Structure 1
Amino acid sequence: MRAFDNLYEEPAFEAPSAKEQSVVYAALGTVAVAVASTVAAIQMNAHGAPSWLSAALASSH
């Protein structure tokens, strides 16, 4: 067991750089937008578009 203790090293995690943090935040934001738009699309298919949106779409054509 002593030999293993000499070989094993605790993992050291470095703090992420600003660029790495921004990439992670951008990815999380993209996922959040995708989930929100999917939920909205499912709700619109199930219940129809809200009246304010239907009126806005009708007036834009």
Structure 2
Amino acid sequence: MLGTGDADLLSRFLDERVEAALAQAPHHARALRAWQDLRRGQLRSGRLEVVVGHVDLYAPT
């Protein structure tokens, strides 16, 4: 889980997600930027936590 102690990483994480979404759907720019602003505000106020899940495809089973 990423939280307030990971502010730089979370900021980059959010920015990269928005940039990827904009590349796929530039017509949603206004909504994506609004979402980004909302999340940045939550990050600044310490109210944002992110859980990053994944499946390791290369791990032995």
Q: Higher relative contact order by CA 8 Å / sep ≥ 6: 1 or 2?
A: 2
Per the normalisation by structure 1, the TM-score is 0.37
Structure (1/2) with the larger helix percentage: 1
**Higher CA-based Rg:** 1
TM-score (norm: length of structure 2): 0.37
